[in-house]
């Protein structure tokens, strides 16, 4: 296993946080955590929205529960 900085190694070892992307971590064991809250942080400056099956399920249009969160982007950054 690769060596990390001291703080990062401790956090990963204890499972306290989950790395979502470079520089973005989440406490997935927190009772208020919800994956949809991560979407804006993952997009950064790029414009996008929760879409497709995820949006249909959230609106009650379909009963299937998607295994993934689908996000559509414009491919352009906000100004």
Task: Look at the pTM and tell me if it is higher than 0.75.
Answer: no
Per-residue pLDDT tens over the stretch 42-71 = 888 888 889 899 999 999 999 999 999 899
Q: CA 18, 69, 51: angle at the middle one, nearest 5?
A: 145
Q: What is the pLDDT of residue 4?
A: 52
Give the number of other CB atoms < 10 A from CB of residue 54.
Answer: 20
Q: Provide the b/e sequence for 60-77 (b: ≥16 CB within 10 Å).
A: eeeeeeeeebebeeeeee
Could you tell me how many residues make up the chain? 79
Distance, in Å, from the CA atom of 7 to the CA atom of 17, rounded to the nearest integer, reads: 11
């Amino acid at each position: 296993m690769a060596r990390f900085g001291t703080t990062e190694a401790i956090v990963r070892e204890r499972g306290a946080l989950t790395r979502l992307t470079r520089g973005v971590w989440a406490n997935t064991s927190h009772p208020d955590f919800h994956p949809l809250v991560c979407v804006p942080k993952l997009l950064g400056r790029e414009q996008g929205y929760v879409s497709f099956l995820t949006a249909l399920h959230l609106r009650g249009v379909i009963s299937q529960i998607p295994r993934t969160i689908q996000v559509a982007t414009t491919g352009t950054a906000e100004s």
